[in-house]
Amino acid sequence: MKVALLHNSRPPGHSDLPDDSFEEYDTPETIRAVAEALRGLRVEVEQVEANRDLPRRLAAGGYGFAFNIAEGCGRRCREAIPAAVCELLGIPFTGSDLLTLAVTLDKAAARRMVSPEVPVARAVLIDHQRDEARLEALAYPVMVKPNDEGSSKGIRNNPVAKTVQAAVDRARWLRECYHCPVLVEEFLEGTEVTVGVAGNGDAVRVLGMMEIAPTIPEADWTYSLEVKRDWRRCVRYHVPPRLSPSTIAQLKNYALTAYGLLGCRDLARLDFRLDAAGVPHFLECNPLPGLNPESGDIVLLSQSKLPYEILVQGVLVDAARRYNVALPNGHA
């Protein structure tokens, strides 16, 4: 079987844009690692850039499947575009469908989809200057972040605002730089946990959970872009999280519930943070979790049980079963 590995690779230079503009895009090392893992299933893998040439490449390539890790190009619905091309051409593809990919990139929309079944922090969406008056209703401090970005884009060293005016200033700066609405959420001071979920239907399962903690505890700490870029020095990952069995069970229930409500397929990573009372709150869902073999959160949280190759291969195996397509190694 010929498999198209849909991806977006990071361009070499973009000095006229914010330095995190292409943070979501994959490095050559990640793309090669995913391709090599898939070849373990005895499939032929071709790397296909998800750019404007994608429809032509897929239509002419004779592909039996697409393995989708592409972030797409554009704004709010960009992650849905590669999946939409596959659907248009009738090519089976891994991962969530275009509706889920579009909804989960829009943090406010994803919050509305999972609540009230899964708790979310109180928040205000700032799309126009007139929305800023609603910030008075929130309890401070607050987290200020781009509404439809991923990979912590725009969540830099100072994403927490302690006053209304600070939130206004931060939101205006983000809207100017990233050209999208801004989500302002009441800051949750508890533990941050990310949960990996895989599978479909009755076979949906939690792959693992990971607590994300600062090396040196500090007030209003966030898993910012600078922290992620320097994770070996700034972060301590705890698998499983240092939480009570009841909280772990609650996180598992909320992760599975959100995965279902958002319509996720095959693989996703869901992020939560606890409030002062220890109640987990949904932050966001990433249905295209990063698969960097050294630093991908879903790789780190599952590696004690799943070797990297098995994690990656499992996505294609689950997707093939969903489509009832037989793989060369006998999986269907």
What pLDDT does residue 33 have? 97
- The CATH number that applies at residue 228 is 3.30.470.20
Residue predicted with more confidence, 220 or 65: 65
Give the domain range for residue 30.
2-94
**Same-domain check for residues 238 and 283:** yes
**Same-domain check for residues 61 and 141:** no
**Total domains, the chain:** 3
CB atoms within 10 A of CB 330: 8
CB 71 within 8 A of CB 54: no
C-alpha span between 21 and 145 (Å, rounded): 14
**Same-domain check for residues 49 and 90:** yes
What pLDDT does residue 17 have? 66
What pLDDT does residue 217 have? 84
Query: Residue 301 falls within a domain, yes or no?
Result: no
Query: Residue 47 falls within a domain, yes or no?
Result: yes
CB 96 within 8 A of CB 268: yes
Query: Residue 144 falls within a domain, yes or no?
Result: yes
Whether the bond into 141 is cis, omega within 30 of 0? yes
Checking if the pLDDT of 153 tops 70, the result is: no
Residues 262-301 pLDDT 10s: 999 999 999 999 999 999 999 999 999 999 999 899 999 9
Query: Residue 295 falls within a domain, yes or no?
Result: no
Residues 87-105 pLDDT 10s: 999 999 999 999 999 999 9
Confidence of residue 332 (pLDDT cuts 50, 70, 90): low
**Same-domain check for residues 135 and 206:** no
**Same-domain check for residues 282 and 236:** yes
Checking if the pLDDT of 258 tops 60, the result is: yes
C-alpha span between 29 and 39 (Å, rounded): 16
The mean pLDDT of the chain is 92
- The CATH number that applies at residue 16 is 3.40.50.20
Residues 161-182 pLDDT 10s: 999 999 999 999 999 888 899 9
Which residue blocks in the chain are alpha helix, DSSP H? 28-39, 54-61, 80-89, 98-105, 107-114, 164-178, 225-229, 231-234, 245-261, 297-302, 308-323
**Same-domain check for residues 83 and 21:** yes
Query: Residue 29 falls within a domain, yes or no?
Result: yes
Query: Residue 243 falls within a domain, yes or no?
Result: yes
Kindly provide the b/e burial profile for residues 28-51, where b requires at least 16 CB atoms within 10 angstroms of the residue's own CB: eebbebbbebbeebebebeebebe
What pLDDT does residue 147 have? 93
CB 300 within 8 A of CB 239: yes
pTM over 0.85: yes
57, two tokens: 């490449």
R_g over Cα of the chain: 20
Share of residues in the chain with pLDDT > 90 (%): 77
Among 114, 96, 119, 185, which residue's Cα sits nearest to residue 146?
185
Checking if the pLDDT of 141 tops 70, the result is: yes
**Same-domain check for residues 151 and 199:** no
Query: Residue 172 falls within a domain, yes or no?
Result: yes
CB 318 within 8 A of CB 289: no
CB 60 within 8 A of CB 16: no
CB atoms within 10 A of CB 183: 24
Confidence of residue 154 (pLDDT cuts 50, 70, 90): low
**Same-domain check for residues 283 and 193:** yes
Query: Residue 101 falls within a domain, yes or no?
Result: no
Residue at a domain's end among 157, 186, 215? 186
